[in-house]
Structure 1
Amino acid sequence: MAEDSSRKRKVRGRKIRSDRSGKASRKAKKELARKASSTGKRNGDSGDSPLEDPREVVPEPFVETDAVRSLRGRITGWLEADQPVHLIGPTGCGKTALALSAAAERGRPVVWLNGDESVDTAALVGDHAGGERYKEDDRFVGGVSKQTEIVRERWVDNPLSVAVREGATLVYNEFSRSDPAAHNVLLSVFEEGVLERPGKRGEDRTIDVHPEFRAIVTSNDVEYAGVHRQQDALLDRFVGVRVDYYDAETEREIVRAHVDLPDEVVETVVETTRTLRDDLEVVVGTRAAITAARGLSVFDDRETEDGTTLDDDLLTTVFTDVLAPKVAGERDGDGDEGDARARDVEELRTSIADAIS
């Protein structure tokens, strides 16, 4: 960065927008409702459903620039062509928000699913959720009472079954973090238009896929920890859309939408983020820029004779705090673990300071 512009950058009005608390509250309520509906359905609570109104799933705030609209248009186009879409890209680049926005564009109900190691076939399609016990009292013959206890298994559908039956848009976040074996049921969904429900007996063991059912899945790049390589037979059914970090103007708009800072400070944050993205070995996503901007809105509150200033030392400290979890403890067998973590963070700070200066 230029020396004359890096030492003292004027900062004015470094407060998060007055309506940010309201937006955060609405976002928290939507997230809580999403988790509650999914959990309730899995646990057999017939009062809840994983189906969500498409108008309620778009993240707040959601920035639309030409770059965002163009990418979303590719996704919705493939969905219109009846192709499941696999969004692939680095962490923190906005894949999830883009997937939810594209799903909402269809105007169909949305089913949300978050992948992890615990997701298996039953978590996708459903399972028996205990039994229902009741007694029949037969008094057909006078003076004789015959009671029969009947146990009937109760089946509960999980997100995939609900989505294919109702013609919803399935948004499967962190798809590649789930065990590939759990996804075998998707082969018949995409190829034959039928969902098989292992463990379900009788004529309703299968569900015919609704013609309006669509799927969007998101995955981090294969080099990320905890990512599983999915079977080629399934990946061959998807179209893959690469989602990378947006252009500088879009990243500035995203940061502005989350934090109320002067334009020159937002520009500095984004410029620093993009510089560190090129110079560091760790992933520096747009999410890191938002977090750093939030930090600056709080920490850069030092009154001086010429007003409040943002300097390189503060910028270095904030970005070190934001990125430190990515490096702490990465080295093994190098002396005391605490000392190794301290060295990792110190080396990170030095690299950030060098990149900023």
Structure 2
Amino acid sequence: MADDSSRKRKVRGRKIASDRSDKQRRKAKKKLARKSSGSNAGNGDSPLSDPEEVAPEPFVETDAVASLRSRINGWLEADQPVHLIGPTGCGKTALALSAAAERGRPVVWLNGDESVDTAALVGDHAGGERYKEDDRFVSGVSKQTEIVRERWVDNPLSVAVREGATLVYNEFSRSDPSAHNVLLSVFEEGVLERPGKKGDDRSIDVHPEFRAILTSNDVEYAGVHRQQDALLDRFVGVHVDYYDGETEREIVRSHVSMSDEDVETIVDTTRALRDELDIVVGTRAAITAAKGLAVFDGSQNQNGHSENGQFDDELLTDVFTDVLAPKIAGEGPDDVSQLRTTIAESL
């Protein structure tokens, strides 16, 4: 008679699909509820989002996570911009969105990269509006005047400042430092200057509920710019590192349905490789490996090749090599071979 645990594990791939479908249904339900309540009515293409919409799902709350988020929200309550700094894949973005959602204020999302400049932050002219006016100043005589008026469109920073939203600026340090000069007056004088905007509304007074959470990878990462000290001096820097083992296990469980023994094996392997390898092995790598093992090991179990909590070492090596190989892409096949050897030895 077939082992019951083996039978259950055959359907892991379907469980992943089922979990994904459940998540999509929850998001659709939230979106429908917001639409029905009219909470976003009139926003059009506004970057403003409801806090419930940006709250990450799934999101694990262990004591370590709750403590860190409480620290972030404490600084926000003290009216301090918070800069989350840490290695890639450690959960900075999810933590930032969770902290922003907990405030209960609208949230504005901004993703940094090389293309972000001052206009991308505050706004710019978006073409002109052309219309005609008819002036019938004498009976039977018509005078027609064509008027062209430039149309200004506010971008995320202007909207967040004006509406008192929580700005979540992801990958902040990937943007050119010169784009962030406008932030100095925001955090120091409480005023946002909009270069290129004409008239009395060139500047915006910062709403008293406006707050900012920024995330950045550590300075040694490629593509990261050193920001000006005058701006960094106005931030509170909170370092986010990889969580403890139990928290990482809970995070993996929240993404993939599998036994506690299997989750423990995956997380222990991830943490061991983190110490052995010179590349970043984040919690995200553990999640990806778990999703792969749920499918590939499920196929093996159809032939009874492994038991609960006992992944085949060769399969573990293959999966973790696939997950981590992109981090050394372009360095040559010998490096991938060396990576696989190191992983196999660690197991």
**Pair in the same fold by TM > 0.5:** yes
Pairwise CA RMSD = 2.0
* Partners of 1:237 and 1:82 in 2: CA distance: 11
Residues 27 and 322 of structure 1, relative CA distance in 2, 3 Å threshold: farther
Q: Aligned to 2:248, which of 234, 246, 251? A: 251
* Paired position in structure 2 for 1:74: 71
* Paired position in structure 1 for 2:320: 319
Q: Deviations over 1:238-258 (max 9, x none)?
A: 000000000000000000000
* Paired position in structure 2 for 1:38: none
* Paired position in structure 1 for 2:184: 187
* Paired position in structure 1 for 2:37: none
Q: Is the 8 A contact 2:168 2:212 kept in 1?
A: yes
Q: Which amino acid aligns with 2:324?
A: L
Identity of counterpart residues, as a percentage? 78
* Partners of 1:111 and 1:122 in 2: CA distance: 16
TM-score by length of 2: 0.90
Residues 290 and 124 of structure 1, relative CA distance in 2, 3 Å threshold: same
Q: Which amino acid aligns with 2:44?
A: G
How far did 1:47 drift? 1.8
- 2:82 matched to 1:85? yes
Q: Is the 8 A contact 2:122 2:157 kept in 1?
A: yes
Q: Deviations over 1:81-134 (max 9, x none)?
A: 000000000000000000000001111000001111111100100000000000
- 2:174 matched to 1:150? no
* Paired position in structure 1 for 2:283: 286
How far did 1:49 drift? 1.0
Q: Aligned to 1:226, which of 223, 228, 251? A: 223
Q: Matched residue of 1:241: which SS? A: strand
Unaligned runs of 5+ in 1: 1-9, 33-44, 331-340
Q: How does 1:291-310 map to 2 (within 5 A)?
A: 291-300=288-297, 301-302=299-300, 303-305=302-304, 310=311
Q: How does 1:1-357 map to 2 (within 5 A)?
A: 13=9, 15=12, 16-17=15-16, 19-25=18-24, 47-300=44-297, 301-302=299-300, 303-305=302-304, 310-330=311-331, 341-356=332-347
Q: Which amino acid aligns with 2:337?
A: E
Residues 314 and 305 of structure 1, relative CA distance in 2, 3 Å threshold: closer
Unaligned runs of 5+ in 2: 32-41
Q: Deviations over 1:286-345 (max 9, x none)?
A: 000000000001111213357656211000000000000001213xxxxxxxxxx21111
Residues 27 and 294 of structure 1, relative CA distance in 2, 3 Å threshold: farther
Q: Which amino acid aligns with 1:324?
A: A
Q: Which amino acid aligns with 1:155?
A: W
Residues 307 and 322 of structure 1, relative CA distance in 2, 3 Å threshold: closer
Q: Which amino acid aligns with 1:51?
A: L
Regions of 4+ moved over 4 Å: 26-30, 305-309
* Partners of 1:175 and 1:240 in 2: CA distance: 13
Q: Is the 8 A contact 1:27 1:60 kept in 2?
A: no
Residues 53 and 46 of structure 1, relative CA distance in 2, 3 Å threshold: closer
Q: Matched residue of 1:181: which SS? A: helix
Q: Matched residue of 1:250: which SS? A: helix
How many residues were matched structurally?
Answer: 325
Q: Matched residue of 2:93: which SS? A: helix
Q: Is the 8 A contact 1:27 1:59 kept in 2?
A: no
Q: Is the 8 A contact 2:306 2:312 kept in 1?
A: no
* Partners of 2:274 and 2:162 in 1: CA distance: 43
How far did 1:143 drift? 2.5
